[in-house]
Structure 1
């Protein structure tokens, strides 16, 4: 449909308290091909009509009983969204004050009574042309917004799939190290869950709390590079074997490399520092106190607690109370005392994680 056809189908409301004026305007506009016209002589009806129907143009007299043209425009202005509703003011008053007031209230143009037919027809046509271009722009914007929304949904879906894939890859990397030394793989899930709970208890932000779960799962990835005769030895390590075992932190850091993402940078930090001790007697770099990154200190507590309360080929699981006693005894030496305190505050939630992710029994 051409713009001229759309103009002639525009919805026009004529408001004048003189019925003859309304009839004259309707006859004139019909003669010019306009088909969607409505006239009223009671200005009190205008607000309700505009609520029930969307008009493309209002021809509005100023001097009327009940509500004058200014009051009608005030009602329209405050009772509904104008959404570029053009108003052509019909008035015998041609003074600056009248025109200024009408413009302030939303009028788009004026025709002075008695009006010239050619002039009013041209003004109506010009206003409706702008109105139709505005509606066309609005429709175009809605179409663009629909396209953008659809594209955004597609991108969000792809991002969700990517995040899920990354999560699975990270979990697989973490479990790879655990399987090397005959652990079940539940250790990394429990320990990472403890780390997330502890980070939240410490008041860390949501991003940190989310990222430390993924980072913690990779804490022992360096065990991939430890020879079997050392990694799988059931008894106590000889000094040279212990030195080899300690290298898993450096190997893990080398595997992760100079990562670009925040999660992988945190994972590298965890790998490198979760065996450091609060008193500086840990490895590989002998860091002390707050020199140890907070993520490394968190994982140190969680890793040891889960290791103590889990069965291993070389030991039986300790009770939770025995593990708690160990944490307390080593608070301020092996572990950050603030983290030990906060870990013990969340023991009920730790119990829930232990129940949800028990070690699988061999042979199942």
Structure 2
């Protein structure tokens, strides 16, 4: 394949001679009568530069330096064509970026040998560049495909998780509906629990987990007869014992799951009626033996129960409700969690207003 050779010389006769020599070797000459013109016409299609040294305005050394500074053609081979033969001249040419020299008058055989060597080097460099470009393109395409696959996978996981959460939420709503409580009760519960968890310093994953799992706290009420759930008066001892079993029923419904959200729901369902002093149910756990999520849910559940209307009571005011809860500090409630609840009560009130019945 013919190569494009840029010949630079301020003498028109020298350019005609160089052009003839290059054509005789089967190459395609590109001619420039000055350094400025050479820099204008030089582009990545040029395979080699034959550069005269002694030129007005911009000599060959300066042109070579300008070429090496360019990112698009900075590695093009340069042969200095000069009548200078001193050691210092050759060193200056090397410093400027020349690859080789050829003395005037030009010998065709010498020119062919020196050009062939540099053109082979240029050919190898171009092959490496093409390979790098192809490799980079392939990496970019595969990276894009991998990113798209990961995004699709993430989206699928989000969809599956959202479906799981909605199913759980609807199941929890069914339990609350049977108890004549509203869906807003479980929404408030989950927001109260999330607010408490965040203010207690739990990390983001735990805050989200307790928020999503807390609506399942009373899911075991599905197994409690309506005659007990909806009874307006006080329960008999036997009825109360059966009522307390909703914690166990909920644990059984959610138990033995490998899904983290259901495992958290199982813990909350079983432990949210345990009390700090050990007088709660179903296991009579005390202090920090009660799971943290259960202790958080206990505070949120009692507050919402006190401030909501139920078959057996009217809704209490916040003032009355907080007095009752303060009385349970250290007996019913974990003191640290209750204090956190009271210290951040403005955020609780905001949730209560947004999700009122």
TM-score bin, normalised by smaller chain: 0.7 to 0.9
Query: Are residue 41 (structure 1) and residue 41 (structure 2) matched?
Result: no
Quote the residue 2:170 is aligned against: 172
Quote the residue 2:132 is aligned against: 134
Using structure 1 for the length normalisation, give the TM-score: 0.75
Quote the residue 2:75 is aligned against: 87
Quote the residue 2:270 is aligned against: 272
Structure 1 pair 86–243 and aligned structure 2 pair: CA distance change class (3 A): farther
- Over aligned residue pairs, what C-alpha RMSD do you find? 4.0
User: How far did residue 90 of structure 1 move?
Assistant: 3.6
User: How far did residue 42 of structure 1 move?
Assistant: 5.8
1:83-112 superposed Cα distances (whole Å, 9 cap, x missing partner):
xx8725546799xxx9xx99xxxx9xx953
Cα distance between partner residues in 2 of 1:252 and 1:357: 25
Cα distance between partner residues in 2 of 1:36 and 1:326: 97
**What are structure 1's unaligned runs of at least 5 residues?**
360-364
Quote the residue 1:353 is aligned against: 351
Q: May I ask how many residue pairs the two structures share in their alignment?
A: 326
Query: Are residue 112 (structure 1) and residue 100 (structure 2) matched?
Result: yes
Cα distance between partner residues in 2 of 1:38 and 1:197: 77
Quote the residue 1:362 is aligned against: none
Structure 1 pair 17–235 and aligned structure 2 pair: CA distance change class (3 A): farther
Matches within 5 A, 1:261-300: 261-300=259-298
Cα distance between partner residues in 1 of 2:246 and 2:189: 18
Structure 1 pair 348–126 and aligned structure 2 pair: CA distance change class (3 A): same
Structure 2 residue corresponding to 1:214, chosen from 207, 212, 215: 212
Structure 1 pair 120–348 and aligned structure 2 pair: CA distance change class (3 A): same
Cα distance between partner residues in 1 of 2:305 and 2:190: 13
Structure with greater Cα Rg: 2
Cα distance between partner residues in 2 of 1:141 and 1:155: 20
Quote the residue 1:146 is aligned against: 144
SS in 2 for 1:327: helix
SS in 2 for 1:113: strand
Quote the residue 1:320 is aligned against: 318
User: Is the 8 Å Cα contact of residues 58 and 86 (structure 1) preserved in structure 2?
Assistant: no
Structure 2 residue corresponding to 1:155, chosen from 153, 156, 162: 153
Cα distance between partner residues in 2 of 1:260 and 1:30: 81
User: Is the 8 Å Cα contact of residues 191 and 216 (structure 1) preserved in structure 2?
Assistant: yes
Quote the residue 1:306 is aligned against: 304
Cα distance between partner residues in 2 of 1:295 and 1:44: 77
1:65-98 superposed Cα distances (whole Å, 9 cap, x missing partner):
44864x975x56xxx7x9xx8725546799xxx9
- More displaced 10-residue stretch of structure 1: 207-216 or 139-148: 139-148
Structure 1 pair 298–120 and aligned structure 2 pair: CA distance change class (3 A): same
- More displaced 10-residue stretch of structure 1: 265-274 or 344-353: 344-353
**What are structure 2's unaligned runs of at least 5 residues?**
54-59, 81-85, 103-110
1:330-362 superposed Cα distances (whole Å, 9 cap, x missing partner):
011000111111111222221221121122xxx
User: Is the 8 Å Cα contact of residues 8 and 38 (structure 2) preserved in structure 1?
Assistant: no
Using structure 2 for the length normalisation, give the TM-score: 0.76
